[in-house]
Chains A and B, each alone.
Chain A
Amino acid sequence: MKNKSNSSINVCLAQTDPKTGDLKKNIESHIEIISSAKNKGAEIVIFPELSLTGYFLKDSVYDLGVEINSDESAVFEPLYKISEELNIAVIAGFVEKDADFNFYNSTFCVYNGKLINVHRKVYLPTYGMFEELRYFKPGDGFGVFDLNGVKISVLTCEDAWHLSSSYIAVNKGAHIIIINSASPARGITGGLDKFNSTKMWEELLSVIAFYYKSYVIYANRVGFEDGIGFSGGSCVINPSGNIESKMAYIETGEIIAEVNLNLLNNERFKTPLLRDENLNLTLKELENIINNNKVK
């Protein structure tokens, strides 16, 4: 992979239906998809949230946790290996366990046989049908990592619903915001050819891309877990806020999309919202808010 900061990068969105609780099977299917994506010219393959384990895990979180910086990470060796052999980056979701036996809803990026980033989901939905905080510990930040000159930030599902997450990511330098997700399809409306939840997502993604002047890549899963179906519709949104590539709503599949960083350059020049962002003002206001909220 060449240095990409002035050109384009081919990403593969893998809209998968993980086998719940079966790490081994899911690793196998990831490998198949990575190989075929490479043949189609992909330089990076992006899988949905918890793509290696499934989403509504309940007590099986306990059985699936992997300590990524220990011998346990050997289970992911096939993914490390293929990323090296094919010179391809892989972003996939897994249950992470730390040395103190805390569990996280995490996403790794593996490239050239090496672990280059782990994002621990910060905002863990625990309302309605969701119970993530029952099992997972929240992550403590939104990082940006470098992939051959391209600055990437990973947000996981609910993270993106808090607009502060993408605000932090772009101000830290992210060019591309990758949002991996396991979003259940819910809500119908007469006259609308998609689920209500999908409509909200598409509006949100467009807002993030346009107002934070970045590429947004959304990788959402499909399939059913105990009657709950996931809505798919993985897509790439450019910094003009328009959907460039999009997958069908409730089907498995892969697409290769070109992310053109020249367009990002163009958009950021024409509408320099990020250049003009007043971080000091935001900091001052946040300090005021926090101080005023303190119990006196």
Chain B
Amino acid sequence: MKHKIELPKIDELNFPLIYKHLGNFIKSEVLKAGVNRVVLGLSGGIDSAASCFLAASALGKDNVTALIMPYESSSKSSMEDALKVVNTLGIKYYVLDISKQINEYFKDKTEVSGNVVAAGDDIALKLRKGNKMARERMSILYDYSYKLNSLVLGTSNKSELLLGYGTLYGDMASALNPIGDIYKTQIYQLAEHLGIPKTIINKPPSADLWEGQSDESELGFTYKTADDIMYLLIDKMYKPEVVISLGFEENTVNKIYERIKKSQYKRRMPLIAKVSERTINIDFRYLRDWA
């Protein structure tokens, strides 16, 4: 490979500034909303752990609440790792098992999803269940947001947001997200400096929506490869053919570029049909921080 422009590393030299910057972001945007607390879903994975560590240091441990929301198939180690995060930080947390409502909803629906058959083998059903779980967790988070007078803190990284590897109005929903402009590869580097427990850093990335699920085998490429490519496509605004000419595999570049384009709808607000002379988000334009 001849490509030289690499995804920037978060290292010991730039970490202090990035850490402070993200902390300032959380503090400033939360306080502007008139509250001083956040609530977030903690999966046991590295992304929510990173958001949680950042929030606890920005707002103080008493102002961060974690919700751990396992489903019956969630791996035991996820729960253990989530508990490691709350115990390390000393923050409040609730464990809310979502199996009952998910199973109740899907009780009579196993054969609806397409080509028939056994629920366990049906990929479409698996995805529907995964999406439903993500939205159930979102729904609980927003209920706790009201109950605890807290904003919902996002935990999606830039890689999954760009690849559309998330559930619309599920795990992608939040009031503010400190790590949404940080690629997965960089999240690992950030996590080292934040002092996130090693078991969380070292395990393979998984949405843990079903047993043995792996992000990278599902996507068909590694985050490292995807991040190097997306850094050139998005941050550097290079056309796919230029990225390929730099030595990246054509199929992978095209596949990633297509994924980014096809998932654009997930990153935008719903479309509104323009009728009036001044339409929300079209020509009625104010910051969210308007008030």
- For the complex, give the distance between the alpha carbons of A212 and B16 in Å: 34
Q: In the complex, what residues of A have CB within 8 A of residue B2's CB?
A: none
Taking CB atoms and an 8 Å cut-off, the chain B residues in 160-176 that contact chain A are: 176
Contact of A229 with B24 at beta-carbon distance under 8 Å, contacts A60-B290, A193-B14 already known: yes
- For the complex, give the distance between the alpha carbons of A250 and B25 in Å: 11
Partner of A192, one of B13, B28, B285: B13
CB distance B287 to A58 under 8 Å? yes
Binary CB contact string for chain B from 7 to 42 against chain A (1 if under 8 A, 0 otherwise): 011110110111011001100110000000000000
Q: In the complex, what residues of B have CB within 8 A of residue A59's CB?
A: 284-286
CB distance B287 to A20 under 8 Å? yes
Q: In the complex, what residues of B have CB within 8 A of residue A195's CB?
A: 17
Contact of A229 with B21 at beta-carbon distance under 8 Å, contacts A58-B286, A59-B286, A223-B28 already known: yes
- For the complex, give the distance between the alpha carbons of A60 and B286 in Å: 7
Residue of A with least CB distance to B181 = A227
Taking CB atoms and an 8 Å cut-off, the chain A residues in 135-188 that contact chain B are: 185, 187-188
Q: How large is the interface on B (under 10, 10 to 19, 20 to 34, 35 or more residues)?
A: 20 to 34
Residue of B with least CB distance to A59 = B285
B147 to chain A, nearest CB (A): 26
Q: In the complex, what residues of B have CB within 8 A of residue A229's CB?
A: 21, 24-25
Residue of B with least CB distance to A60 = B286
CB distance B290 to A193 under 8 Å? no
Contact of A250 with B21 at beta-carbon distance under 8 Å, contacts A188-B10, A193-B16 already known: yes
Binary CB contact string for chain A from 1 to 37 against chain B (1 if under 8 A, 0 otherwise): 0000000000000000100110000000000000000
Q: Is A108 an interface residue (CB 8 A)?
A: no
Q: In the complex, what residues of B have CB within 8 A of residue A20's CB?
A: 287, 289-290
By secondary structure, the A interface counts as loop
Q: Is A76 an interface residue (CB 8 A)?
A: no
Q: Is B288 an interface residue (CB 8 A)?
A: yes
- For the complex, give the distance between the alpha carbons of A160 and B17 in Å: 25
Contact of A189 with B17 at beta-carbon distance under 8 Å, contacts A58-B285, A60-B286, A229-B24 already known: no
CB distance B287 to A225 under 8 Å? yes
CB distance A188 to B285 under 8 Å? no
- For the complex, give the distance between the alpha carbons of A249 and B21 in Å: 9
Q: In the complex, what residues of A have CB within 8 A of residue B28's CB?
A: 17, 223-224
Residue of A with least CB distance to B25 = A224
CB distance A190 to B289 under 8 Å? no
Instruction: Count A-side interface residues using an 8 Å CB cutoff.
Output: 27
Q: Is A203 an interface residue (CB 8 A)?
A: no
Q: In the complex, what residues of B have CB within 8 A of residue A194's CB?
A: 14, 17
CB distance B8 to A190 under 8 Å? yes
Q: In the complex, what residues of A have CB within 8 A of residue B17's CB?
A: 193-195, 249-250
Contact of A227 with B290 at beta-carbon distance under 8 Å, contacts A190-B8, A190-B13, A193-B14 already known: no
- For the complex, give the distance between the alpha carbons of A185 and B18 in Å: 10
Pick the most buried of B11, B14, B20, B29: most chain A CB atoms within 10 A of its CB: B14
Q: Is A226 an interface residue (CB 8 A)?
A: yes
CB distance B286 to A193 under 8 Å? no
Taking CB atoms and an 8 Å cut-off, the chain A residues in 225-246 that contact chain B are: 225-227, 229
Q: In the complex, what residues of B have CB within 8 A of residue A58's CB?
A: 285-287
CB distance A188 to B289 under 8 Å? no
Q: In the complex, what residues of A have CB within 8 A of residue B13's CB?
A: 190-193
Taking CB atoms and an 8 Å cut-off, the chain B residues in 258-285 that contact chain A are: 284-285
- For the complex, give the distance between the alpha carbons of A91 and B178 in Å: 34
B157 to chain A, nearest CB (A): 15
Taking CB atoms and an 8 Å cut-off, the chain A residues in 267-283 that contact chain B are: none
- For the complex, give the distance between the alpha carbons of A21 and B32 in Å: 13
CB distance A227 to B21 under 8 Å? no
- 10 A-B pairs with CB atoms under 8 Å apart are A56-B287, A58-B285, A58-B286, A60-B286, A60-B290, A188-B18, A190-B8, A191-B9, A194-B14, A226-B289
Contacts beyond the supplied A21-B290, A58-B286: 18 A-B pairs with Cβ under 8 Å: A20-B287, A58-B285, A59-B284, A60-B286, A189-B14, A190-B8, A190-B13, A191-B9, A191-B11, A191-B14, A193-B16, A195-B17, A224-B29, A225-B289, A226-B289, A227-B176, A229-B25, A250-B20
